[in-house]
Structure formats: C-alpha cells, structure tokens
C-alpha cells in the first residue's frame, strides 16, 4: 500500500478537509485530517492499523506487550493496533490536565508499550503520554500513529513509526499567509469549543 492509497482512504471517508483550521496545538493549517471520520468504519480502521502493524520492524512488533494511547483521539486507533498485534489496549485520560491510567488500567513495571496516536503534529501530547506511561512503570519501546503531520520535526524520544507523513505547513496565528487569513478559522476535532 502506498501513500496515495492511504490518503484515498481518508478522502473516501471525507476525513481530509481543506480550509482554515485551528489545530489542537493552537497552530493554523489549510488541511486537517479528521481521523475520527476514517476510523468510524471498523473495516477501514482495521485495514489501516493492520498495514501499520505490518510495517513495524519485526523486533519492535514482537517486543510489544501492550498498546497505550491518549484519549480521545487515540482510543479507537489504539484498540485497533492492540487487536492487530494481538495484545491488550488501554488509554490514558486527563481528568486534571495530566495524562494518567484510570478505569482500573494498570501495567507491571517494565511492561513494553507501544504508544499509539491518531495524528502527531507537534508531538507534545505524544511526549506527555509517553511520560505518563513511564510514570506508571511502562517501558515505551516505540510510538506509532496513522499520520505524522509534523513535517518530520516531532521528536518523541523513542522510535516513531507513522503510517503516512503528511507535509502540510502549520502557522502561528499571527503569521498566516494572506490566502489563509482570508478564510474564517474553524476548530474541528475533540477540543473544539
């Protein structure tokens, strides 16, 4: 499967949006991937995660004991990766602003974890999730996501395996190109007002 086929899955799900978007990082962009739309079809979600699992290096894939993802965006994709890899899947929540395992989720010290995201933009939430997993005793062996839209700039501190890299410029709100500034901004996703 090549990048065009993967992007076509997003297009068919009406998950690749064009306009003026406020990203969860606060940055602005002319394109937005609404991963929830592509993941709402269980067959499509399974297919994408199976492909990502297949692409993981064998030694990484075989070392993973559990998949942990940040809520909300990572819940479905984390569950699908767990299914694909044949391991349990859990998620982190931020009840007080900091990620933590809840709902009876726990891991033993040294448990080898794949931290799974839907989209990585700046890498901040991924790094926060990795820190929470380590605080819970886990050893994060790698991170993965359906999409890396950081233009390759996100340093997660562990090996990072995205299914696809989408190089779309992001801008500070006070440094928008004229064509983007002329379009009203909307905030899609789970942190929308």
Q: Which alpha helices (DSSP H) does the chain contain, by range? A: 3-12, 35-39, 42-55, 58-63, 74-85, 124-135, 178-181
Look at residues 144, 154, 90, 72 and name the one whose alpha carbon lies nearest to residue 115: 144
The residues with which 115 forms a beta bridge, in sequence order, are 68, 143
**Judging by DSSP bridges, how do beta strands 170-171 and 28-33 pair with one another?**
antiparallel
pLDDT per residue as tens, the chain (193 positions): 788 888 888 889 998 888 999 987 788 989 888 888 999 999 999 999 999 999 999 999 999 999 999 988 899 999 999 999 999 999 999 989 899 999 989 999 999 999 999 989 888 999 999 999 999 999 999 999 999 988 788 899 999 999 999 888 889 999 999 999 999 999 886 544 4
**Distance from C-alpha of 49 to C-alpha of 189, rounded to nearest angstrom:** 20
pLDDT at 189: 63
pTM of this structure:
0.85
Burial bucket for residue 47 (CB in 10 Å: 0-12, 13-18, 19+): middle
- Within the chain, what is the greatest distance between any pair of CA atoms? 52
pLDDT at 171: 92
pLDDT at 7: 87
């Amino acid at each position: 499967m090549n990048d065009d086929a993967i992007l076509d899955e997003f297009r068919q799900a009406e998950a690749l949006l064009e306009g003026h978007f406020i990203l969860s990082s606060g940055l602005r962009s002319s394109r937005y991937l609404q991963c929830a739309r592509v993941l709402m079809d269980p067959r499509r979600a399974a297919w994408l995660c199976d492909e990502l699992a297949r692409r993981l290096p064998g030694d990484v894939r075989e070392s993973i004991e559990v998949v942990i993802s940040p809520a909300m965006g990572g819940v479905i994709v984390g569950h699908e990766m767990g299914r694909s890899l044949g391991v349990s899947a859990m998620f982190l929540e931020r009840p007080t602003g900091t990620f933590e395992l809840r709902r009876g989720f726990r891991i033993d010290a040294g448990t080898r974890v794949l931290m799974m995201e839907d989209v990585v933009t700046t890498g901040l939430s991924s790094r926060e999730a990795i820190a929470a997993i380590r605080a819970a005793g886990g050893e994060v062996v790698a991170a993965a996501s359906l999409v890396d839209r950081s233009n390759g700039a996100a340093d997660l501190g562990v090996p990072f395996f995205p299914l696809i890299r989408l190089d779309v410029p992001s801008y500070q709100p006070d440094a928008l190109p004229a064509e983007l500034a002329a379009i009203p901004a909307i905030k899609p996703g789970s942190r929308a007002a």
